[in-house]
Structure 1
């Protein structure tokens, strides 16, 4: 039935605004509906679309269908249209969503009307149609559309060309339909591609169409959707080609479900593509990424012809499955096969394998091959090369390579920052981050995580806050990896309140976030809170990991929860399928030792299913020091000297045990042994931040500009704490004559930092001190008295944990 149109209005009774008012709407044209036989202008007006139509008629037709291409494209914000300037000045039209004219006026265009046009006009944006305005849309040849589709760059272009193809009834041509799919794919318009494909008749869909759609779904990380359309393709009777199978194999790889890949493997044989290198290489890559290297090797060995892609797939597969030696072996075989065929994937993969395997010698040889083949200057290879030297501990070589690189991307900067972190050059890591920002590189989540790790180890709260502000501005604050790093940074800088605030703002918390906040509470001595958070984590359905249990067991040991600690330890295997490691066994030893059950702890070590390492025996030696158990202490120390002959901490612990038991001569023998074998205790130092500057103190330090005031404050503090009942614990004064032992205790680094903090920080402000070693018992006692005397919180972070001193009480419960 012919549609009813609005009767044309007379110019004399209509205002310009009314002339452009869209008065009725009808459903839009189907996406594959062809144009009508003629264009209707009002009740009795029509213009033929034939080439013989008059010039004015052709203009009207062109203008009408040009608007339709916009209405189909949902450009409905423009209700009227100003047709091409060459359109006769007496023709004004309004159209419905189908492109049919619902108003036509023949009035002269005056200045006022032009002002209305400027608000409601819609110009064609495709230069092709501008330059071919003298043709009706039905006379654009298909090749012209094909050129437009190949040269299109944006989703706007795709939509406009799509509209023109609808109006010209050319969209049913398979090659134009396929090119339009490709254009949408190139623009990343997945939803538009799905809509176009689903509404197209089957006659327009060939193997190229299906393959284009499946490839785009795979690239947009919708693998299950890609597999669904592949099944529909087979049901429709269209046979896949080698490009189709390659795309589907990539989708199977993304699903990480091996059964999908096995089904595709059978289809490869069924359709006779088992000899196609392109397809079989994708099959090798699929098995490798699904962690089935046995099948990957089998398929690889059965290949009649192997190309570089198949070799690289095997090398990368071994690398991803942590089979580093096999990756190096395959690379060596590839060198023998064809030296000139190597590319950046080959080199970067083998550099990563050498880095993780610690095979620096072969890595240097490959470096020489890369220089010989002239691929050394590729950024991708340089990044892997820097990473290899970094993980092998050659930081000087890393700095040299980095300085010689001209083009640096964000990965290059990240590797350099992580190299500094790996070598404990935390200040250089922070400096590299700010230099990266200065050079114009935009940090990603790896950049922020690495630099926050550096701030955490330096305990620089001010710099960490600055980076937090950068994270907020860059939009990474909701990134779970970055948020977890923020929690760790604030916790290690002594601000547990800020750590909890970050944790509470995370919407979808994963196990890393939970573990970060649980570990933070454990480090700050809030053992009860650790257990509460762990139980809440389990209630929310989050499965704990290896590190989570380390913090939970440590918390149980600090609160004397022996039975509860054993329950969590046993639940690791029974409930969560996690096999305990040395760290967990060390926590149980510490748990029993703190409860005074040293013999039971020793028996537990002897019954361990794995060989105890230094961390396990070290926990027992610390307990022997705390309980002054001389016999067991000597026995455990001898075991540790065998495991760690160069660790000065074990010798110092034994000296403390001997000194506490009055065996000063024996303690001197241990110290002489240290000198004889070249083992030196790491010099202690403490540092404190005041007004965005860091001040470092060593033992008996007099290098500070306020040295006189600092030592006067120490004397004043000594008198005050003695009035509170302080008695010097002289056993912590080592290598000092008896008459000078008490005085030497007041030259310890954390006491100097405390005095400087009392002088420099505002009254009532918390004092945050960091120390590179375990804080001694005498300093711990003085900190408790000072927190009560000066009525302020003192936070000390030593190598093991945080100590929060408030009103004469420490959060560690005097056991650390």
Structure 2
């Protein structure tokens, strides 16, 4: 600023002294008492007015109290007047009072005033530097706070514990890990390594800088960690996505008789919810009951959230029904829990009972409808939301676009597109990607492409994947491959991208592009997880390159059931039935239990390799050994197996024991098998059943010349 606030106020002060109000007392002690009385009455402005219009110095203790009250009330005008009076009527104001003034300016958010006073101080002590650093920290100017500390250190001014704590907080804000390490060394050098506050601050900074190994090492060096220390290490593990370590440290704290804060309990419960550790979460719940934490609003909300995420809605509801638990956050959590677990009717009943709602509450209910494809209910709910609530955010818009995609209603989607432009949501990347996905799922690829180009200033990897998936979903696999090559000029593909591309290559039997994608992933070090390996196996099998598929399968570090099913069905596709039976034996040796898809592959292999008896054994073992109820496709396989190879009496017995009536497709196959193998009794029965189903096209058996039996369908 061109003219300092102090000089302007000094001039005003001196000009006012010649026109002093007659009602003011002239005795200095009486004036001080008057200021004190006004402060005691809570009249800060009147107290400062008496001070400002009095041309006499006041006791330093009174200035200190005035600065304190100004800071508490963030009264910047009064603070400036107090500082102006102090420097005007005191030849050499004590440093501690100027430090209080700097602190007051910082609390009021006037960092320029604080820095101006700091720079004009003829003498400073450690408190002055600390006050300026603290002001910058409180004002969100972490880099400037670090700059002041570096100047302080350069001038050889010793830092106090408070200074170090403030500077460490700034390091955490700007993620200055190298400066943090230097501060760590300086703290040890100054003999402050036993200070639990500084040590906890170091744990916090290392954690925020994502160096959890150093954070944990620092924590382990704390001789007597307090509640804040434990809370910091649990929270930092949680923020880093190391939920198991967060839960472990919480129970470690309990083991050493540490007393948790409510926030520590809350963080540990959130960690349990993310990893579905309902057992550990229940144990923490028991602890909250013993320590009376269950009634804390933060803890009860975290308990409900944990049980909801773990699918234990009964326990969540039990906590929700406790006195003082029914706040807006908990209402929304319990509604979301019921909605996202498919119990949308119960969720809606709870939603209707809510005394108040916000946009998150509406979104929670709408998300439940869209997640379980209840499109009509979701559409009615959107109309209700627009009628009763004015609040709508980007999540709401994204859910409505999902609804449009589910209904395949591109016209409604275009109306939402217009709403997005009118209300300024077009600059939101989440909304933009949802709009792109909607156009793709509705088959409006031209609109998708146009919007994709309009998103050029903000689109990301998700945008490219959405466009690429839209083309692949509609059978335009070659166009999807072209988009992939264009994508690389702007962003790096993800594993999801490769999964979509490999599926596209499998659809058009494009072996060479599929091999190029495989090589691209190896070349650039992409993780070959079980999902990608499954896509590779599927692509190579469909492209008649079973050797490559088997090689990818064998190189997998771990093989789940989906990967096993992919290779088994791939062998079926390539008519390698004998290989399937070997794979099934190996699968059982590795302890992977088959499912209905596995048995479909096994039965198909028995058909291709003429293993009728083995097929019957596997079919019987489904329910007897693996507790899998055979499905329609398994019965179709057995009918095909018996019918193709002429096991007509076995087929007849199999039909009699089926738990349902044969479908038209099954009856047709039985009829054809009887015609081929001249089995009159079963063939006549099949023809009779088919005629009941469709009498307009009769099926019948008749004897022709030379005693030959003929089966026909007219």
Q: Distance in 2 between matches of 1:197 and 1:418?
A: 50
Gaps of 5+ in 2: 25-41, 398-422, 634-657, 670-714
Contact 2:278–2:310 (CA under 8 A) maintained in structure 1: yes
Q: Distance in 1 between matches of 2:364 and 2:609?
A: 47
Instruction: Tell me which residue corresponds to 1:741.
Output: 665
Per-residue deviation at 1:308?
1.3
Instruction: Tell me which residue corresponds to 2:4.
Output: 30
Instruction: Tell me which residue corresponds to 1:53.
Output: 19
Instruction: Tell me which residue corresponds to 1:64.
Output: none
Q: Distance in 2 between matches of 1:57 and 1:216?
A: 39
Contact 2:369–2:378 (CA under 8 A) maintained in structure 1: no
Instruction: Tell me which residue corresponds to 1:650.
Output: 598
Instruction: Tell me which residue corresponds to 1:631.
Output: 578
TM-score (norm 2): 0.67
The answer as to 2:281 corresponding to 1:363 is yes
Query: Do the aligned partners of residues 300 and 470 (structure 1) sit closer, same or farther apart at CA in structure 2, a change above 3 Å counting?
Result: closer
Query: Do the aligned partners of residues 738 and 289 (structure 1) sit closer, same or farther apart at CA in structure 2, a change above 3 Å counting?
Result: same
The equivalent position to 1:161 in structure 2, one of 58, 63, 78, is 78
Query: Do the aligned partners of residues 604 and 147 (structure 1) sit closer, same or farther apart at CA in structure 2, a change above 3 Å counting?
Result: closer
Per-residue deviation at 1:426?
7.2
* 1:753-808: CA deviation from partner (whole Å, max 9, x where unpaired): xxxxxxxxxxxxxxxxxxxxxxxxxxxxxxxxxxxxxxxxxxxxxxxxxxxxxxxx
The answer as to 2:97 corresponding to 1:150 is no
Per-residue deviation at 1:498?
7.7
The answer as to 2:356 corresponding to 1:439 is yes
Per-residue deviation at 1:455?
1.8
Q: Distance in 1 between matches of 2:112 and 2:317?
A: 50
Instruction: Tell me which residue corresponds to 1:570.
Output: 519
* 1:436-466: CA deviation from partner (whole Å, max 9, x where unpaired): 987223429xx95996586255273883794
Query: Do the aligned partners of residues 737 and 332 (structure 1) sit closer, same or farther apart at CA in structure 2, a change above 3 Å counting?
Result: closer
SS at match of 1:620: helix
SS at match of 2:558: coil
Aligned residues: 581
Contact 1:413–1:432 (CA under 8 A) maintained in structure 2: no
The equivalent position to 1:471 in structure 2, one of 386, 389, 393, is 393
Superposed, 1:376-415 pairs within 5 Å as 376-404=294-322, 406-407=324-325, 412=330, 415=333
Q: Distance in 1 between matches of 2:233 and 2:317?
A: 32
Query: Do the aligned partners of residues 316 and 203 (structure 1) sit closer, same or farther apart at CA in structure 2, a change above 3 Å counting?
Result: same
Contact 1:518–1:534 (CA under 8 A) maintained in structure 2: yes
Q: Distance in 1 between matches of 2:84 and 2:519?
A: 72
Per-residue deviation at 1:278?
0.9
Per-residue deviation at 1:176?
6.5
The answer as to 2:263 corresponding to 1:342 is no
SS at match of 1:374: coil
Per-residue deviation at 1:207?
4.5
Instruction: Tell me which residue corresponds to 1:794.
Output: none
Query: Do the aligned partners of residues 235 and 621 (structure 1) sit closer, same or farther apart at CA in structure 2, a change above 3 Å counting?
Result: same
Per-residue deviation at 1:347?
1.8
Contact 1:484–1:513 (CA under 8 A) maintained in structure 2: yes
Contact 1:459–1:492 (CA under 8 A) maintained in structure 2: no
SS at match of 1:539: coil
Query: Do the aligned partners of residues 739 and 455 (structure 1) sit closer, same or farther apart at CA in structure 2, a change above 3 Å counting?
Result: closer
Per-residue deviation at 1:218?
5.0
Q: Distance in 2 between matches of 1:663 and 1:459?
A: 45
Instruction: Tell me which residue corresponds to 1:580.
Output: 528
Contact 2:10–2:85 (CA under 8 A) maintained in structure 1: no
Instruction: Tell me which residue corresponds to 1:242.
Output: 161
Which moved further from structure 2: 553-562 or 734-743?
A: 734-743
Contact 1:560–1:595 (CA under 8 A) maintained in structure 2: yes
Per-residue deviation at 1:500?
6.5
Query: Do the aligned partners of residues 527 and 398 (structure 1) sit closer, same or farther apart at CA in structure 2, a change above 3 Å counting?
Result: farther
Q: Distance in 2 between matches of 1:284 and 1:500?
A: 49
Q: Distance in 2 between matches of 1:388 and 1:168?
A: 57
Contact 1:452–1:485 (CA under 8 A) maintained in structure 2: no
Contact 2:145–2:170 (CA under 8 A) maintained in structure 1: yes
The equivalent position to 1:316 in structure 2, one of 219, 228, 235, is 235
Superposed, 1:766-781 pairs within 5 Å as none
Contact 1:379–1:408 (CA under 8 A) maintained in structure 2: no
Which moved further from structure 2: 353-362 or 584-593?
A: 353-362
Per-residue deviation at 1:231?
1.8
Contact 1:315–1:349 (CA under 8 A) maintained in structure 2: yes
Query: Do the aligned partners of residues 573 and 282 (structure 1) sit closer, same or farther apart at CA in structure 2, a change above 3 Å counting?
Result: farther
* 1:165-220: CA deviation from partner (whole Å, max 9, x where unpaired): 57647598766765666566556x4xx42575257525187655554554565567
Instruction: Tell me which residue corresponds to 2:699.
Output: none
Per-residue deviation at 1:283?
1.0
Contact 2:578–2:605 (CA under 8 A) maintained in structure 1: no
Instruction: Tell me which residue corresponds to 1:91.
Output: none
SS at match of 2:320: helix
Q: CA RMSD in A?
A: 4.8
Query: Do the aligned partners of residues 32 and 519 (structure 1) sit closer, same or farther apart at CA in structure 2, a change above 3 Å counting?
Result: farther
Q: Distance in 2 between matches of 1:538 and 1:413?
A: 45
The answer as to 2:551 corresponding to 1:603 is yes
Per-residue deviation at 1:37?
5.5
Contact 2:441–2:470 (CA under 8 A) maintained in structure 1: yes
Q: Distance in 1 between matches of 2:106 and 2:377?
A: 46
Query: Do the aligned partners of residues 655 and 428 (structure 1) sit closer, same or farther apart at CA in structure 2, a change above 3 Å counting?
Result: farther
Instruction: Tell me which residue corresponds to 1:539.
Output: 489
Contact 1:319–1:327 (CA under 8 A) maintained in structure 2: yes
Superposed, 1:228-267 pairs within 5 Å as 228-267=147-186
Per-residue deviation at 1:241?
2.1
Superposed, 1:78-227 pairs within 5 Å as 128-129=44-45, 137=53, 142=63, 145-146=66-67, 148-153=69-74, 157-158=75-76, 160-161=77-78, 164=81, 168=85, 170=87, 189=109, 192-194=110-112, 196-197=114-115, 200-203=118-121, 207-208=126-127, 210-211=129-130, 214-215=133-134, 218=137, 223-227=142-146
Contact 2:338–2:346 (CA under 8 A) maintained in structure 1: yes
Structure showing the higher strand proportion among its residues: 1
